[in-house]
Amino acid sequence: MRDFRQLLADGRPHLFDGAMGTMLYSRGVYINRCYDELSLTQPDLVRDIHRAYVKAGAEILETNTYGANRPKLARHGLDGQLYEINAAAAGIARAAAGERVYVAGAMGPLGVRIEPYGPTAREEARGFFREQAAALADGGVDLFVLETFADLEEIHQAILGVRDASDLPIVAQMVIREDGTTAFGSDVALLAERLGEWGAEVVGLNCSVGPNTMLNAAERIVGATERPISMQPNAGLPREVDGRTMYMASPEYMASYAARLIRKGVRFIGGCCGTTPEHVAAMAGAVRMLAPDAEPRITVAHSEESATAKEPVPLAERSNWGRKLAAGEFLTTVEIVPPRGSNPEPMLEGVRLLKAAGVDGVNVPDGPRAQSRMGALATAILLQQRVGMEAVVHYCCRDRNLLGMLSDLLGAQALGLRNMLLITGDPPKMGPYPDATAVFDIDAIGLTNLVSRLNRGLDPGGNALGEPTSFVVGVGVNPGAEDFEHEMRRFYWKVEAGAEYAITQPVFDLRQLEKFVERIDRDGLKIPIIAGIWPLVSARNAEFLANEVPGVVVPEEVMERMRVASAIGKEAGTDEGTAIAREMLAAAMPMIQGVQVSAPFGKVPLALRVFEAIPGWSGVVMPEAIPA
């Protein structure tokens, strides 16, 4: 093992190797394989690539372990071989490196979202990184390279995990977009500061962009840190050529930019996707001829606004829905499914009935059961603009990535939408378009964190947005979940993330609601609960909900009542379903602060009949309000 700190102290530029994945692919290993496993199954292939980079002039080799962490290996059923894969990869690189070249243990992101934007706890993520780092250290690496991270929180946990396992130096590298920020909106200057504060000996960037964008970023990152800087760009941006993804930057082009990066003050140069031993050989010439310029360090100031969250708008001032929540008043809302086509008029007629009856809001689901319908945001805007009734917008994570959701939410704020119900969303396979893809970039917990930050004037990267948004933050919960403890853990995380009210799945079994309310009361959780109530229309409708809608539990006694009534006739079945819904609401009233009644098949008058269970309800629809 060699002491990498000698390179840190000598003040000269040094050269990493190039892409491992690019070389493996060029030698016939397809992308459906686990490249990390090749250190066990085809060690000679991996060793030959390392040797080619050594011959080209690389001073630091990265192990073939970019994806060799537990979550990623588990996708291939290889998590039980984590130690063997990492230790073997380190040994292969060490054998190729000889006495002259350093070996860096390569570690990439986990491939799962961590809190606050995902279900993986910070400590759990730290443990994943710790065990990989320990295996690499046992294999004989000289340093660690944390690379291709987009999330500052995740790379923070990676640094902590490595430090738990070893005191070897850390090179910490993140990815940026062409505008010089991460996918979470963090600026390169902030990245450099944070990575240095957290203990990385070298800070920098890799992957994602070509050398030109990295050169622009270098001009900011050099002035933001006293740590040595590393830059490992792709060989240009990828292009499609005859159906193949190609990186078009030539070795000469990469070498010219390596020289320019060094002149800017970058100490460690290398290549990421698309770079080959030919690129590294060309870059080696630039490294040998140049030393970083001694440019004076400038201070990059971040305004107080960018570092400090603002006080959220008071709940009572955000919307009428928020006012009633804050005052402890009982809320009434009806769920109206958006139209399948582009004509909203039949839906709007039903909403006019609700307004005339004095209902507080309209719940607008977002692609329920993965069906293709008018978008929830557009539907909600139509309701508020054409009917003048507040909407409670269900907003799900299935169809949009993090940036898309951020854009939608900022637009919703500008258009006057305030009341949100944040949900993960039903997977496409349960709908009529099973081949459609799902994004699920974050889940409902992460989305709640995102909206809560927006309400404090911060984007996902902690940067100031100006005026804070003023959303009323709601979440879903299922008192009848099969794994009740898992559901409760997720619910508590949602509340911790900033949820201000919750709406339950349709409740047909009062015992489930009682168990749920008793649990949150016992744990001292104070949050308004709005019960979902669904008036059944027939025994067939009850069977459908019980068997085909995830999370809905219909007790056998309710099923039997619907069977008996439906056997009499269609109207009797509908009357019985409405009576069951009223009974459920009346019994639940002492435990809840509101009710969401579904309008089955768009039958708004049927939903309104359920509200008759509310003491003092006077929501009588005048004849002139009923559409002809």
Q: What is the set of domains in the chain, with CATH numbers?
A: 5-302 (3.20.20.330), 310-535+589-613 (3.20.20.220)
- Cis geometry, peptide bond prior to residue 116 (ω within 30 degrees of 0): yes
Q: Is 598 helix (H, G, I), strand (E, B) or coil?
A: strand
Q: How far apart are CA 36 and CA 45, in angstroms?
A: 12
Q: Residue 428 corresponds to which amino acid?
A: P
Cα–Cα distance for residue pair 41/152, rounded to 1 Å? 34
Tokens of 219: 């001009």
| Integer Cα distance of 454 and 436 in angstroms | 30
Asked whether 8 and 201 are in contact (CB, 8 A), the reply is: yes
Q: Quick one: CA torsion of 37, 38, 43, 49, rounded to 10 degrees?
A: -130
What values do phi and psi take at 233, rounded to 5? -75, 160
**Which pairing describes strands 102-107 and 60-62: parallel, antiparallel, or unpaired?**
parallel
What is residue 321's predicted lDDT score, i.e. its pLDDT? 97
Taking only the tens place, the pLDDT of each residue in 73-119 is 999 999 999 999 999 999 999 999 998 899 999 999 999 989 888 88
Output the pLDDT for position 498.
94
pLDDT at res. 227: 95
Binding residue per annotation — 273? yes
What is the DSSP pairing of strand 102-107 with strand 143-149? parallel
| CA 106 – CA 126 distance, rounded (Å) | 16
Angle between helices 122-139 and 152-165 (to 10 degrees): 50
pLDDT at 55: 94
Q: Judge whether 272 is annotated as a binding position.
A: yes
Extract the residue ranges of the chain whose pLDDT is less than 70.
Answer: 1, 237-248, 289-307, 367-372, 428-438, 550, 619-628
Helices (H), 397-475: 402-414, 444-454
Give the pLDDT confidence score for residue 369 in this predicted structure: 54
Q: Tell me if the pTM is above 0.95.
A: no
Task: Tell me how far apart the alpha carbons of residues 610 and 532 are, in angstroms, rounded to a whole number.
Answer: 12
